[in-house]
Structure 1
């Protein structure tokens, strides 16, 4: 169709490597299908390996020549994140796109393995730690990108620095909005720091509008009830449409970093992807910097963009990445 961006608009991705968190279903799987259609090599970073292998098999049924890898990653466990990243660094020497897609939405109050409130811990802190640990691969790959999924819930989000763990009270939707605003602020602050370091990697945020996925299961991993699923289906667009902003953010050549991509329909709820400027008022520099510092302290992961000369056969090696 003229004037709209679809998978057909994507550049070829043959020879490119993409990691997608939460690729076993919903938006993550639809995103993987989009990349596979363009020839990318895809790493399914999933908590449930059985579902991950099933999803990968389904993708291979549609794209038999696709290169797919399934690896375990639990974003609610910092040790799992460290193990996953170590495996990626061991097996690969490049990473073209990291898609921070996985998320949990409005669960009852729970904590991650490390004692964080589940939504803030998984949706934001988990991806913060993962990105930092994969930074060496990203920064040594020309034109690489970090794509972080936020939500229209970020518009009403607020960072409760005095109550990040919910000890002063917990509201599921309020804390979901906090985690999604954190995703957005992280993506923008990451771009600021990448630019300051002169890196070729860029950071772009996006959101899927209101899309028909199983996020409404409230983090249980089970299918939502029939009535709720039917109502959600009437309100939302397909997961395939919801994945388009992610694919746009990951591949559109005219992006320079720091953009926020979402559906262009009314209220950003549905439609084809484009620029979303509705949350620019949320981009408070002080809040972004404070969130970054707090995230470093909580996860134990600090980003180091400096280039250091190393003795290795007389050659200078570029060492980027995590400083622990």
Structure 2
């Protein structure tokens, strides 16, 4: 059976169509480079206050100076998603500083890493890409509930269709494959984003959860691969078909800001590399597994020690 997602007509939308975001506060993870920086730049250009949630605050402060030309503003705050203690410190600091959060874009991620474990004994790609964001969401949900048209955008990948999720072996035991581990974390992103929306909707919350992806993008993420051969191959492929970050983030920004965006579509890019259009698609394959989504939620609460939206 094919796992290709059914597609709908592409949308004629660009960042020029973003609404005025003055007075709104956004949190963007991994905001110092690549997709996160492109997202931050567009939000600030449209008037938003953006919390740049980053591991390397010195690097973020350097790029923040280039964002000062926009009508919005950027604030740098430290966050290491692999370290749940850091997630708690970050969310406490956000509560101290802001009365509400209108937008949470869960963009940060690592890819194709050698096997390392978090303090909880979880393989690092799953721990960073999913578990840290799961905890972050729960700890900021009260502030999002006070926001204006509050949205959470989980940045996933179309590679989720190639993955399976064994919740009993999240430590990477057995035959570890960096690529398969990355795909698994992206499936977790999809299942989490969709289950989050179901639970929010069931409770009548004003917060909505969206899932989007950037397609193949030219970002610094590919330079972090431990294998020189993989870095070379990925660089070559990205050079041929990859979109610049500013184009790759168009579907993410659509999900985050467009009044026409709906949570039940998987938004990605299509069209020319330099003129991306937004391509809505239906979720498919393992992304439709409600039982696994529920089990993932329960396991994530157990591992993160953060419980929310039970039921």
Same fold (TM over 0.5): yes
Please say if residues 142 and 201 of structure 1, whose CA atoms lie closer than 8 Å, have aligned partners that are also in contact: no
Q: In structure 2, the residue corresponding to 1:18 is in which secondary structure?
A: strand
- Conserved? CA contact 1:120–1:178, under 8 Å: yes
Aligned-pair Cα RMSD in Å: 2.4
Q: Classify the secondary structure of the residue corresponding to 1:246.
A: helix
Matches of 1:274 and 1:3 in 2, distance apart?
6
Tell me whether 1:299 sits opposite 2:307 in the alignment.
no
Gaps of 5+ in 1: 307-324
Residue 282 of structure 2: aligned partner: 277
* Range with bigger deviation, 165-174 or 181-190: 165-174
Alignment partner of 1:98 out of 95, 104, 126: 104
Secondary structure at the aligned position of 2:171 is classed as coil
Report the number of matched residues.
Answer: 299
Report the equivalent of 1:46: 54
Conservation of the 8 A alpha-carbon contact between 1:120 and 1:179: yes
Residue aligned with 1:302, SS: coil
Q: Which of 114, 132, 142 matches 1:126?
A: 132
**Residue 225 and residue 153 in structure 1: after superposition, are their counterparts in 2 closer, same or farther (change >3 A)?**
closer
Any idea what SS the aligned residue of 1:273 has? strand
**Aligned match of 2:25:** 17
RCO comparison, higher one (Cα < 8 Å, 6+): 2
Give 1:245 shift.
1.0
Give the 4+ runs in structure 1 shifted more than 4 A.
Answer: 224-228
Find the aligned partners of 1:127 and 1:172 in 2 and give their Cα distance: 20
Q: How does the TM-score come out when normalised to structure 2?
A: 0.90
Distance in 2 (alpha carbons) for counterparts of 1:289 and 1:168: 25
Q: Shift in Å at residue 278 of structure 1?
A: 5.1
- State the partner residue of 1:319: none
Asked whether 1:286 is paired with 2:294, we answer no
How far 1:212 sits from its partner (Å)? Answer: 0.5
- Alpha-carbon distance between aligned partners in 2 of 1:293 and 1:228, rounded to the nearest angstrom: 35
Aligned pairs for 1:241-320 within 5 A: 241-265=247-271, 271-277=276-282, 279=284, 282-304=287-309
Partners of 2:225 and 2:137 in 1: CA distance: 22
Tell whether the 8 Å contact from 2:100 to 2:146 is kept in structure 1 after alignment. Answer: yes
Asked if residue 107 in structure 1 is aligned to residue 107 in structure 2, the reply is: no
Deviations 1:148-176 (A, max 9, x none): 00012112111122321112231001010
Aligned to 1:309: none
Q: CA deviation at 1:271?
A: 3.4
Q: Distance in 1 between matches of 2:119 and 2:196?
A: 25
Which residue of 2 is the match for residue 310 of structure 1? none
Match of 2:238 among 232, 239, 244: 232
Residues 68 and 184 (structure 1), Cα distance of their counterparts in 2 relative to 1, 3 Å cut: same
Alpha-carbon distance in structure 2 between the residues aligned to 1:226 and 1:288: 35
Distance 2:58 2:236 in 1: 27
Distance 2:282 2:265 in 1: 9
| Aligned-pair CA distance for 1:265 | 4.4
Over 3 Å counting, the alpha-carbon distance change for 1:278 and 1:146 in structure 2 is closer
Deviation of the 1:260 alpha carbon: 1.5
CA distance in 1, matches of 2:25, 2:308: 22
Q: How far is 1:215 from its partner?
A: 1.4
Query: Which stretch has the larger CA shift, 24-33 or 104-113?
Result: 104-113
Distance between the aligned counterparts of 2:153 and 2:100, measured in 1?
A: 16
Residues in 2 aligned to 1:283 and 1:131: alpha-carbon distance in whole angstroms: 21
